Structure 1
């Protein structure tokens, strides 16, 4: 037999073995079929991508170990903070419907307590967000904890870098986690300058080659900033000039971030410190980072984290519950729409049952394949009565959910399989009518800058559009 024959035989055996492994993992059937299709049509590419990004992440020892440690930290924290209510029975009785289901759900699947002494400020777009962030950093008195998916060597990136360096030089404790892939274009010197100033800096799941490696698929998509344990931020805004609308192709950048004061910061701080332990090996449990909170307000908030280290896909389950429990409306904004079958069915079922379901998506793309994969779902959603709008003013990057009149979510999770299953994400779930009202007003204003996709018009789209959608959709379960 020739070498080519041996290679062909070896490739066939390897393809069969991997196919058996995929089937035995009992994945979601659509994802299983997608992987099998890739293996059959593109065996070399399929084998390569499965070995590097396709394996069952929730069974990896690294994430199991992290999950066990994280749950123990949260358990100890909840014991120490007596003001946190953990009685799921009380909430089921006190709040019927949506809140009565969501609050116990997040208590159980993330061990996230419901906090009631909170005040929030919704930050629209990069300019408002960076102004608040820089002001908070420059006024820090004890510590600064920062965790970001993307930090770019840009004008705003250097401005924040210098603010952190100045505070570290002044004796403030500064810790920074950046995602190794999200920041792979940043030069080594960018972070070295911060380390030289006394800032503790760690990359999250570094990979030796940015485009390849078994860790490539598990990215830290969180954006967390905590100042003195008193002020916290999370949401959609990374650190880069494009978030200020300076990308000439994408133009104006519409985004949403959240500033929090109050007891919800205990949980946000715990999430950061658990990630800090994962990247640095340093376990921090000092009360210094959990100061007593003065009265801030009466907003009820749960902070939920999810990722490959979570036993449950907690944010995915929360979105599903919001869709299946709402009685009036569900408004959603996301830069990407690649739902799994459960979210797709929930969206259609809610609309068919008479719920006002509206989704705002970008009218232009930052990732071409994801854009067309998102559009591949339009037909069945429109036929079910879901209203879909494409943002025309620029690029919309917000990640929000508004349901009925007393529930809202702002965070880092997109409406896609990657955010639900693969990325490390964090969302704030807010049970407050005033916040809901403000976010609804913002949503309706964004609708004015959007174009509604009409079913009859969509049916008339050209063949080239349909081909792009169909090809992109084949890869949607693994995007």
Structure 2
């Protein structure tokens, strides 16, 4: 009897190993073919320089309250795209609000990334559609490039209410984003509310994404052209090298300081890395703030090699210690502030569809700089011993993370 069990287990192990091998080979062929044919490559869209009133939200509860309030006051249309949604009370409140607005005669379009929305139940979708909400998943996995389409995610987070108010940034929908998930604790993020002519660019990008994923044209709605006080520019990225080129160009312009806030520090883009090192060699003070405490697996361990490289170059690295830092921000001198959806990792640099807001207004930047400085104050400076004197467990996790860092 025991011999039979052993043989069965051996057979199962062989099948599992064989299946993994087949999947790895298939995945490699799939991705190579997709890259060769540039299936997912598309030039970024750089929108015009605009003037809007911009409000920054870093607290999830304040952000949710304002977003939900703005949606509840909508009279004509609501476009909403978040990368992910949870299955909890906050998510249910959000979905219920969309249903209420649709039943009240407001035109509601709601999209979520196919993998990011994996927790969205079929019953919830049916209730949305029954209430008249237009719903779609973004970037559904598809043949013949199954693995490449799984990798290629829409990471943008765009909201438009009546063409008057827009949102873009790092928050998603769920209780962890308002700091109510005990294991994660406080959630620190950056999300912009846009009031003014920049809203039309967010609307246009949403319409493009919706048509790309559904082949349906959204009815044309108006958006305000009223100017605000803050100069800014949106850029929508699809994949490829252009994002790295944009970042490198901006970092090359730095004269005094570069501050980067990112949840994950997996800087394996050569153009960006070289531009930061070059800046440091010119005497520019470079600070990188990341989140050791995270909602994602192995990202801290994947950061270790890059932290070591950074420290050797005289780059200051800080670990946020007040909870989870999920901000996607950089500040160059006091001339360029970026707030968007791009993380410093392979997925954002090479695989995801992203969108950033570049702010070129010294007055506005002077108001945000103390907020960034507060994040640094709430962090611990990382030393060489922190990343060199690791436990055996951490060393093993680092090696595993290194093997899969391209997909983290």
> For the residues of structure 1 that align with 2:214 and 2:387, how far apart are their CA atoms?
51
How is 1:149-188 mapped onto 2 (pairs within 5 angstroms)? 149-188=83-122
Give 1:370 deviation, angstroms. Answer: 2.4
Distance 2:31 2:180 in 1: 32
Aligned length: 386
Structure 2 unaligned segments of length 5 or more: list them. 1-19
Give the superposed CA RMSD. 2.3
Q: Give the secondary-structure state (helix, strand or coil) at the position aligned to 1:409.
A: strand
Deviation at 1:457, TM superposition (A): 4.9
Is the Cα contact below 8 Å between 1:347 and 1:381 reproduced in 2? no
User: 1:282 and 2:216 equivalent?
Assistant: yes
Q: Which residue in 1 is equivalent to 2:15?
A: none
Q: 1:331 aligns with which of 230, 235, 259?
A: 259
Question: Which SS does the other structure have where 2:204 is aligned?
Answer: helix
Correspondence for 2:232: 301
- In 2, Cα distance between the equivalents of 1:208 and 1:52? 12
In 2, Cα distance between equivalents of 1:470 and 1:317:
29
CA distance in 1, matches of 2:65, 2:369: 24
Matches within 5 A, 1:211-250: 213-250=147-184
Residue number among 392, 395, 411 corresponding to 2:321 in the alignment? 392
1:412 is aligned to 2:345: no
Offset at residue 186 of structure 1 (A): 1.7
Unaligned runs of 5+ in 1: 1-41, 72-108
C-alpha contact (below 8 Å) 2:197/2:226 kept by paired residues? no
> How far did residue 366 of structure 1 move?
2.3
- Alignment correspondent of 2:28: 50
Query: Which residue number in structure 2 is paired with residue 472 of structure 1?
Result: 401
The answer to whether residue 46 in structure 2 is matched with residue 114 in structure 1 is: no
Instruction: Considering fraction of residues, name the structure with more helix.
Output: 1
Q: Deviations over 1:104-129 (max 9, x none)?
A: xxxxx5342111x3110000121111
Please give the secondary structure, in 2, of the residue aligned with 1:151.
Answer: coil
Q: Residues 283 and 313 from structure 1, CA distance in 2 versus in 1: closer, same or farther, beyond 3 angstroms?
A: farther
2: CA distance, partners of 1:180 / 1:390: 31
Q: TM-score w.r.t. structure 1 length?
A: 0.76
Alignment match, 2:12: none
Q: Distance in 2 between matches of 1:347 and 1:466?
A: 27
Q: 1:344 to 1:470 in 2, by over 3 A?
A: farther
3-state SS of 2:318 partner: strand
Q: Deviations over 1:19-56 (max 9, x none)?
A: xxxxxxxxxxxxxxxxxxxxxxx954531332455654
